[in-house]
């Protein structure tokens, strides 16, 4: 016999499931989705059981329903984001309605991909209007950013999208650190203490303003004799700008098989991290750079506005229903 509290829990689950079935039968899908979310919060193991437990037919049906309703919700909320064909295709892939069709070798961003968007592993700084002036303005404050290097205490590896569970990546948590000044478009507590002159500079329209996806402004410090393994960024809508703070000619960034070393005359490095890329500091001292997210300049103003709206919708949806949308992956293995 089940203990009283377990009987009560089962009775509560059965009641929610019966209500959900009635809602779906009557076409009240949004309310049914809200109830699936409530069920997942109260009894997560019903919709996401451990691998060692078998799933009943009824349970599988509810797992499918919850995932499909969650994905349906995102599709409905993003259907008006279609200023151009490539944005429409990008939204379709994000919602799972189509496959991402990468059009460049070595390019495979894990989250958001806009097709037919011009790029190269290392675009020219002059390909972005006003970027050279922006770099010079920030470089003028290099002394301030250098003073922040001693405050670097975050494990940067935790802020990258999923990486392989290998010893190489685990070891990297000890020797790749960061200090975020802006994250997801918001100044961090440290960023709030930036001098007003720097705050004014980073309000530039060059920054990829689409919270919570971007922009990020971070000081990245790589220990001596350390290599970052090849990996992909999460989108191709932004390029990554590195401004040198402490660099040496034995440190480099490699993207799509092309390698750029930090020579003394290099004022900055601009690259598209949606390509497979890696980095290495081969010297005996630390390497430190200031990193900022810059819009891919080939996105129109309308497309940037669409992406900003998309990220706002996606972020809110993800916090509500994102965990439900992938529940049925196990059923397709």
pLDDT at residue 41 in the model: 95
pLDDT at residue 308 in the model: 98
Sign of torsion over alpha carbons 100, 104, 105, 108: negative
Give the tens place of pLDDT for each residue, 117-165: 999 999 999 999 999 999 999 999 999 999 999 999 888 765 555 667 7
Residue 261 has pLDDT above 50, yes or no: yes
Report the distance separating Cα 280 and Cα 227, nearest Å.
4
pLDDT at residue 4 in the model: 45
Residue 170 has pLDDT above 90, yes or no: no
Which ranges in 98-237 belong to alpha helices (H)? 131-139, 142-148, 167-172, 189-192, 196-201
Backbone angles phi, psi at 106, to 5 degrees: 70, 10
Which ranges in 100-222 belong to alpha helices (H)? 131-139, 142-148, 167-172, 189-192, 196-201
* Domains of the chain, start order: 1-80+317-331 (no CATH), 125-295 (2.60.120.330)
Give the tens place of pLDDT for each residue, 306-320: 999 999 999 999 999
Residue 6 has pLDDT above 70, yes or no: no
Report the distance separating Cα 135 and Cα 247, nearest Å.
16
Q: What does the pLDDT average to over 72-98?
A: 97
pLDDT at residue 159 in the model: 53
pLDDT at residue 161 in the model: 54
Residue among 275, 269, 173, 266 at smallest CA distance from 228: 173
What would the two tokens of residue 63 be?
A: 């797992």
Look at 12-21, 158-167, 204-213 and tell me which has the smallest mean pLDDT. Answer: 158-167
Residue 5 has pLDDT above 60, yes or no: no
Q: What does the pLDDT average to over 206-216?
A: 97
Half-sphere exposure of 286 (CA within 13 A, CB side): 17
């Amino acid at each position: 016999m089940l203990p009283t509290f377990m009987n009560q829990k089962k009775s509560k689950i059965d009641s929610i499931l019966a209500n959900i079935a009635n809602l779906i039968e009557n076409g009240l899908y949004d309310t049914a989705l809200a109830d699936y979310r409530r069920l997942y919060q109260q009894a997560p193991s019903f919709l996401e059981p451990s691998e060692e437990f078998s799933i009943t037919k009824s349970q599988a049906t509810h797992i499918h329903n919850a995932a499909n309703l969650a994905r349906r919700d995102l599709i409905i909320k993003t259907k008006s984001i279609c200023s151009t064909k490539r944005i429409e295709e990008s939204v379709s892939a994000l919602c799972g309605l189509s496959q991402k069709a990468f059009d460049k070798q070595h390019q495979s961003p894990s989250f958001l991909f806009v097709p037919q968007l011009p790029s190269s592993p290392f675009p020219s700084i002059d390909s972005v209007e006003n970027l050279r002036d922006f770099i010079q303005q920030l470089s003028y404050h290099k002394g301030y950013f250098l003073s922040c290097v001693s405050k670097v205490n975050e494990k940067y590896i935790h802020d990258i999208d999923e990486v392989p569970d290998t010893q190489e990546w685990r070891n990297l948590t000890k020797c790749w650190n960061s200090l975020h000044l802006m994250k997801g478009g918001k100044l961090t507590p440290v960023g709030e203490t930036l001098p007003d002159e720097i705050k004014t500079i980073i309000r530039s329209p060059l920054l990829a303003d689409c919270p919570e996806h971007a922009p990020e402004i971070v000081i990245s410090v790589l220990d001596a004799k350390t290599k970052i393994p090849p990996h992909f960024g999460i989108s191709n809508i932004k390029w990554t700008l590195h401004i040198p703070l402490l660099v040496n000619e034995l440190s480099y960034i490699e993207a799509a098989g092309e390698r750029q070393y930090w020579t003394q005359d290099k004022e900055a490095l601009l690259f598209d991290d949606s390509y497979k890329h890696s980095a290495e500091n081969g010297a005996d001292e630390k390497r430190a750079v200031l990193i900022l997210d810059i819009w891919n300049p080939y996105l129109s103003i309308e497309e940037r506005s669409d992406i900003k709206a998309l990220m706002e919708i996606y972020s809110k949806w993800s916090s509500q229903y994102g965990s439900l949308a992938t529940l049925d992956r196990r059923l397709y293995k």
